[in-house]
Amino acid sequence: MREKTAKFFGKHSKMSAVAGLAAAFFIAGLAASVTLEVHAGASGEAAPAYSGSTQELPALTSPFTALAEKCTPSVVNVRITKVEKTGLGEMQVPFGRFRDFFDNPRFFEQFPRDRTVQGAGSGVIISRDGYILTNNHVVEGARELSATLADKREFNAQIIGKDPKTDIAIIKIDAGENLPAATIGDSDRIKVGDWVLAIGNPFGLSQTVTSGIVSAKGRVIGSGPYDDFIQTDASINPGNSGGPLLNMKGEVIGINTAIVPDGQGIGFAIPINTAKPLIPQLEKSGEVTRGYLGVNIQSITADLSKALGLEEKKGALVADVVPGGPADRAGIRSGDVIVAFDGKPVSDSHDLPAIVAGTKIGARVPVAIVRDGKEIEVSAVIAKQEPDGTRLARNAPPARGKWGLELQDITPDMARQLGLAENQGAAVSGVRPGSPADRASIQPGDVIMEVNRRAVKSAQDLKAKMAAAGDRDHLLLLVKNSHGSRYVVLKG
């Protein structure tokens, strides 16, 4: 045993020496920074007084402590009750030949019943008279609604206004007294890496405070046309929705809204600057009125930039213009690239919808476009945005040919749904899997309106124009369906 021990310490003598020095320095550091109390020895003689420093370790205080104390009173716990239609649910199933019939889920769907569902979220008080900002998805469909303050008092609440497109809602409570309203900040001023605080009601745990940083700005997560989220790694969970994201001044710079279910430390908040112009409209009329230009746009990829002969890959490509709409009256055409709107630069198609939506109805604004390589300016009068249109049914028969397209003339029904004349475009009746058309996401039911910037009148006309392209390795198509129009590049 002694031999083994000696070998161990001999082998690790250098490590032991380093560890010993580290320990010595650690102990010395403690001795120099804390006050020591020395007791009398066994003989009763007083030990010599310690002559080192008597400075005590400073107290460690988080910068979030005061921030949490300041901001939590303005955060509320939102509770809802709503009724959903469901099947018959659990019931005793009869024996014998009826069992298979009752085991069929479609049987239960034929007899829907009401089911009461409880939900919870968060909100932030934005005015002393009880207006509360939250998410639309928190209060959507609520039959009963309440808000609980930080001091545990609960009040019935009413929905004042909702905007599903941005997922913003305003509710109100009557507390009979002035309430602690949050300070609204400026989300445009935050930077990636800034510290932030999230307060909310995750999983029913009210007044939960978490911290993190701004991980990214301008995130597009596919929730709607006005995606512009702040990404944060502050812990956000179900129930945090509608609660505030705060900067280190205690100002609301976002409304916590979404998470990545399979991710950790990936949460998203609506920038408060998105909500600011909507709040007065929601409080006054309960809904949001947006500007409308009447174009269908798309982002410019490297392939589209090359096919269109653009010098820079920026702007919003106009794929379609609504007949008689503001853009049509202004002279904007399919294939134009909008690079500025009302003096504001348009770097990508994502920029334009929010700028147009925030423009006053009836305002005449300048629109800078690039057409055939030249920048020109037109003037458009903004109209009021209306609801979306209809959808188109689709089939998928087999397709052949170099590009993988099966074509036919458009039917009267398709023309009526898409607002086309019967001699406009060629309908896609089939797409070969793995073909250039399939890789470009063309689907049966789409209508091809142009090929290489030339209008298409029929299926035969399109085939002739495609044949005239010869052995070109790509085609530029304008494709229209019930969702709108877009340019695509087929690569051979």
| pTM of the predicted model as reported, rounded to 2 decimal places | 0.62
- Within this chain, do residues 277 and 305 fall inside the same structural domain, yes or no? no
Asked if residue 324 and residue 188 are part of one domain, the reply reads no
Whether the CB-CB separation of 299 and 350 falls below 8 Å is answered with yes
Residues 126-131: contacts with CB within 8 Å, 24+ apart? 126/181, 126/182, 126/184, 126/252, 126/279, 127/179, 127/181, 128/178, 128/179, 128/180, 128/181, 129/178, 129/179, 130/172, 130/173, 130/174, 130/175, 130/179, 131/160, 131/170, 131/171, 131/172, 131/283
Is residue 130 located within the same domain as residue 154? yes
Pairing outcome for strands 251-259 and 183-184? parallel
- CATH code of the domain in which 303 resides: 2.30.42.10
- Residue range(s) defining the domain that contains residue 411: 405-491
Residue pair 114/124 in contact (Cβ under 8 Å)? The answer is no
248 belongs to a structural domain = yes
Same domain flag for 243 and 143: yes
381-426: per-residue pLDDT in tens? Answer: 999 887 543 333 333 333 456 788 888 888 777 787 777 876 788 8
Paired tokens of 358: 């925030």
Does residue 394 lie within any of the structural domains? no
- Count Cβ atoms below 10 Å from residue 478 Cβ, excluding itself: 23
Contact yes or no for 430/394 (Cβ under 8 A): no
396 domain residue, yes or no: no
pLDDT in tens, the chain (492 residues): 444 444 433 444 444 443 443 434 333 333 333 333 333 344 444 444 444 455 565 666 778 899 999 999 999 999 998 866 655 444 444 444 444 444 455 544 555 566 777 889 999 999 999 999 999 999 998 889 999 999 999 999 999 999 999 999 999 999 999 999 999 999 999 999 999 999 999 998 989 999 999 999 988 887 777 888 999 999 999 899 999 999 999 999 999 999 887 778 899 999 999 999 899 999 999 989 899 999 888 888 888 888 888 888 889 999 888 888 899 999 999 889 999 999 999 988 888 998 998 898 999 999 999 998 889 999 999 998 875 433 333 333 334 567 888 888 887 777 877 778 767 888 888 888 778 888 888 888 889 989 888 888 888 888 878 877 766 778 888 998 877 888 988 886
Which of 236, 263, 286 corresponds to the end of one domain? 286
39 domain residue, yes or no:
no
| Pairing of β 183-184 and β 144-148 | unpaired
Q: State which of 384, 414, 432 marks the end of a domain.
A: 384
- How many residues are given for the chain? 492
Task: Indicate whether 211 and 143 sit together in one domain.
Answer: yes
3-state secondary structure the chain: CHHHHHHHHHHCHHHHHHHHHHHHHHHHHHHHHCCCCCCCCCCCCCCCCCCCCCCCCCCCCCHHHHHHHHHHHHEEEEEEEEEEEECCCCCCCCCHHHHHHHHCHHHHHCCCEEEEEEEEEEEEECCCCCEEEEEHHHHCCCCEEEEECCCCCEEEEEEEEEECCCCEEEEEECCCCCCCCCEECCHHHCCCCCEEEEEECHHHCCCEEEEEEEEEEEECCCCCCCCCEEEECCCCCCCCCCCEEECCCCEEEEEEEEECCCCCCCEEEEEHHHHCCHHHHHHHHCCCCCEECCEEEECCCHHHHHHHCCCCCCCEEEEEECCCCHHHHHCCCCCCEEEEECCEECCCCCHHHHHHHCCCCCCEEEEEEEECCEEEEEEEECEECCCCCCCCCCCCCCCCCCCCEEEEECCHHHHHHHCCCCCCCEEEEEECCCCHHHHCCCCCCCEEEEECCEECCCHHHHHHHHHHCCCCCEEEEEEEECCEEEEEEEEC
Catalytic residues: 137, 167, 241
One domain, residues 171 and 264? yes
**54 assigned to some structural domain:** no
Judge if 339 and 282 occupy the same domain: no
Which pLDDT does position 114 carry in this prediction?
64
Q: Does residue 278 share a domain with residue 174?
A: yes
- For residues 379 and 297, membership in a common domain is answered with yes
| CA-based nearest residue to 489, from 426, 435, 440 | 440
Give the count of domains, the chain.
3
Pair 137, 230 in one domain? yes
CA atoms lying within 13 Å on the CB side of residue 63: 9
Q: Comparing C-alpha atoms, which of 74, 252, 266, 291 is closest to residue 165? A: 291
Give the end of a domain, one of 244, 262, 286: 286
Same domain, 427 and 295: no
Give the CATH number of the domain where residue 209 resides: 2.40.10.120
Q: Identify whether 392 is part of a domain.
A: no
Q: Do 271 and 306 fall into the same domain?
A: no
